[in-house]
Structure 1
Amino acid sequence: MVACASTQLYKLTYMKVLIIKKAARHGISITNRCQREKQKATIPAPRPRRDFANPMDETLPMGEIVQSAFRPPLWLRNPHLQTLWGPMGRTLPEVTRRTERLNLKDGDYLLLDWAGPQSQPGQLTVMLLHGLSGCSDSHYMRGIQKVLAEAGIRSVAINSRGAKKPNDTALCYHAGEVDDVDAVIDHVFHENPTGHRIAIGVSLGGSRLLNWLAHRDNNHLSAVATICAPLRLDICANRLDQGLSKLYRQHLLKNLLTNFERQKIHLDKVNPPEAKRLHRLNMNSIRSFWRYDDQIIAPLYGFRSAWHYYAQCSAGPKLLQIRTPTLMLQNRDDPFMTPQTLPRQEELGPAVTLEVSDYGGHVGFVGYKSQRYWLEQRLLAFVQGFGIR
């Protein structure tokens, strides 16, 4: 299975190169226009985009849908090229960081990678939360931290349990896990109580932040931004069983299951009781996220099944509960989900703005040379728009 997944990923990479060359040679769009028009019709047409530069401005369309300004080159409009560009075609951004170990109440720990200036009273701190199978070294995490540091803004990239190295309990993380999110926010708050805090969550990290806002919000965050958050977990799991998206599923599951095998070996040495929890799990024949969530996440976290987990932790139905200013960046062409997952205007809380792009893939947003990594500039503008440093 591993060899098969590797071969398929190689084929997808090769296909990417061919598509780029062909598109560049002929100067044509490589998207399926008929399919795109059909997708557009499935959600309400967004209103013209308004600036998010001043989140406290009364004219800001809080609780509304706005059109994103992102426009990629014609040859980069394919969602798979957008998705693969960062992890496969980008040099990993260099950023100077220091690592802190944050001990948790259950005896486990998180690794926090800090970048930017040293802490000063009243200073702004931006917290970053990665997606599934990611870590603080993911291209988007380093890219965002680099842009923030160059602007003189302090940030901390949160590594979820087991993201960088095996952790000391059987637990990992999931779309609705908020205890560890709460621990980091509380830690950053007590380190600098007079400072402001903004959180940014990417993909699954965005889902975790939205769940935290709905269930745990304690006014310690000034604002939140999420990128390509899976708002309906059942629909996203189904989408990853279709077409080329199956290759992403196979790649993610391979990484996740490999990490669990390493975790077992580590816990056998340092925490045998916790190791037994993992050894009791059925990790065989997992070829879909339904199986992964049913056989691993559900029993680890006390859910009755994958269905129960999806129902409890899908953030889409909870957006009306959010009261902290929140910007959600979503795409119509995201290969990890469908336009059906995009919320309607009446499903958005008064503090939530949904910014929708026609293009971008999954956490792509790769633009023209003058603004190649549009997402990082968009997030910088969002952070700077609050006028706090």
Structure 2
Amino acid sequence: MDQTSPVELNFNHDDGQEFRPMRGLSNPHLQTMLPRVFRRRVNFKPHWQRLDMPDGDFVDLAWSEDPREASHKPRLVVFHGLEGSLHSPYAHGLMEAAQKRGWLGVVMHFRGCSGVPNRMKRIYHSGETEDGTFFLNWLSQRYGEMPTAAVGFSLGGNMLACLMAKQGVDCTLKAGVVVSAPLMLEQCCYHMEQGFSRFYQRYLLNLLKKNAARKLRSYPGTLPVDLRQLKGVRRIRDFDDLITSKIHGFADALDYYRQCSAMPLLPDIAKPTLIIHAKDDPFMDHHVIPDKASLPANIEYQLTSHGGHVGFVGGTLRKPEMWLEQRIPDWLTTYLDK
């Protein structure tokens, strides 16, 4: 795919669907960081629940309200990004937006991402769909059948796309939304090692290493490295080489990246899906933009000129607008409000 591909893939949208960045603040790095300024705190009281997994481990769930009292409501599941959580601005912002629509929202934290180390000799990764599949099945069994959609951000978006593709027509979700996802993991890895993107790599790698160190202190021997080796890791690729790939049965980081990239699986998604990506996303380049002709009719692809990585901040400084919190619920209304 050549460098001109992003321009050729623009779609026509109604005015309400277009993203317009905050005036004077369209820079991709500002767009990426601004949500942390405008969405500093969670504006609702989350209901926490621990879900035991079949292998003796657990994942933590953060609900927008007590699910026992809201089991009759449509459900919106949020899968966060690398080292994300309920406290990530995009996660609690969308949960609040879902709550205002009368939906029940829930963040399924990947193993070890709720602030409490997980017990077993595994963590999570971009293509790990088993926990998400177990959770979605448990959700309907525990609280009954209700229209359910899922939104995946960044790593969680790649995971969600893989999950929906693997399930095909049997997918239990009514619809899915994939935002700023690294659909070609190998190319995204190379991109994060260049230019200013190295700043983001350092930031994310530090979070990964802190989480891994916390796990090693709580459960020694659950990772294939010790604290000294962990301290010497300098790139996300090295982390995936030493830890992610070894834990989950891949030969190395590149084998993991090639087996778990969602891009080749997109044609297998059978349920309605919206994919949102910004051309100026500093975490990745044109390699993550699919060929329009390869996408099935049930996938709507929206490529914006601006937005950064999971940013998409519009409005004004006095009245900022978090575009994703309007765009995503608007699109999902067709599938949840029935």
List runs of 5+ in structure 1 lacking aligned partners: 1-37, 53-67, 269-273
- The answer as to 2:108 corresponding to 1:158 is yes
1:199 aligned residue (150, 153, 159): 150
TM-superposed deviation, 1:381 = 0.8
Offset from partner CA, 1:8-66 (integer Å, 9 cap, x none): xxxxxxxxxxxxxxxxxxxxxxxxxxxxxx965555232312599xxxxxxxxxxxxxx
Cα distance in 1, alignment partners of residues 117 and 71 from structure 2: 34
1:76-91 mapped onto 2 (5 Å cutoff): 76-88=25-37, 90-91=39-40
Cα distance in 2, alignment partners of residues 112 and 288 from structure 1: 30
The DSSP-based 3-state class of the residue aligned with 1:224 is: strand
- The answer as to 2:20 corresponding to 1:71 is yes
- The answer as to 2:100 corresponding to 1:100 is no
Cα distance in 2, alignment partners of residues 128 and 41 from structure 1: 30
2:8 aligned residue (41, 44, 47): 44
The DSSP-based 3-state class of the residue aligned with 1:172 is: coil
CA contact (8 A) 2:157 2:179 kept: yes
Q: Normalising by structure 1, what TM-score?
A: 0.80
CA contact (8 A) 1:70 1:367 kept: yes
Q: Normalising by structure 2, what TM-score?
A: 0.91
User: Rg: which structure is higher?
Assistant: 1
Query: Which residue does 1:307 correspond to in 2?
Result: 254
> Residue 156 of structure 1 aligns to which amino acid in structure 2?
V
TM-superposed deviation, 1:342 = 0.3
List runs of 5+ in structure 2 lacking aligned partners: none
Query: Which residue does 1:375 correspond to in 2?
Result: 324
The DSSP-based 3-state class of the residue aligned with 1:283 is: helix
The DSSP-based 3-state class of the residue aligned with 1:275 is: coil
CA gap of 1:280–1:305, structure 2 versus 1, over 3 A, is farther
CA contact (8 A) 1:79 1:361 kept: yes
Cα distance in 2, alignment partners of residues 293 and 212 from structure 1: 21
The DSSP-based 3-state class of the residue aligned with 2:287 is: helix
1:114-133 mapped onto 2 (5 Å cutoff): 114-116=63-65, 118=67, 119=69, 123-133=73-83
- Pick which of 134-143 and 275-284 moved more: 275-284
CA gap of 1:50–1:323, structure 2 versus 1, over 3 A, is farther
Offset from partner CA, 1:160-203 (integer Å, 9 cap, x none): 11102111113111100001111110111112333111001011
Cα distance in 2, alignment partners of residues 188 and 368 from structure 1: 36
CA contact (8 A) 1:87 1:139 kept: yes
Cα distance in 1, alignment partners of residues 272 and 123 from structure 2: 28
CA contact (8 A) 1:113 1:158 kept: yes
CA contact (8 A) 1:123 1:194 kept: no
State the identity as a percent: 30
The DSSP-based 3-state class of the residue aligned with 2:81 is: coil
TM-superposed deviation, 1:317 = 1.0
TM-superposed deviation, 1:116 = 4.1
CA gap of 1:117–1:285, structure 2 versus 1, over 3 A, is closer
1:250-289 mapped onto 2 (5 Å cutoff): 250-268=202-220, 274-275=221-222, 277-279=224-226, 282-283=229-230, 285-289=232-236
CA gap of 1:292–1:363, structure 2 versus 1, over 3 A, is same
Offset from partner CA, 1:100-137 (integer Å, 9 cap, x none): 11000111001001114755565311100100011111
> Residue 284 of structure 2 aligns to which amino acid in structure 1?
M
Offset from partner CA, 1:289-328 (integer Å, 9 cap, x none): 2212111111011101111111100001110111011100
- The answer as to 2:86 corresponding to 1:141 is no
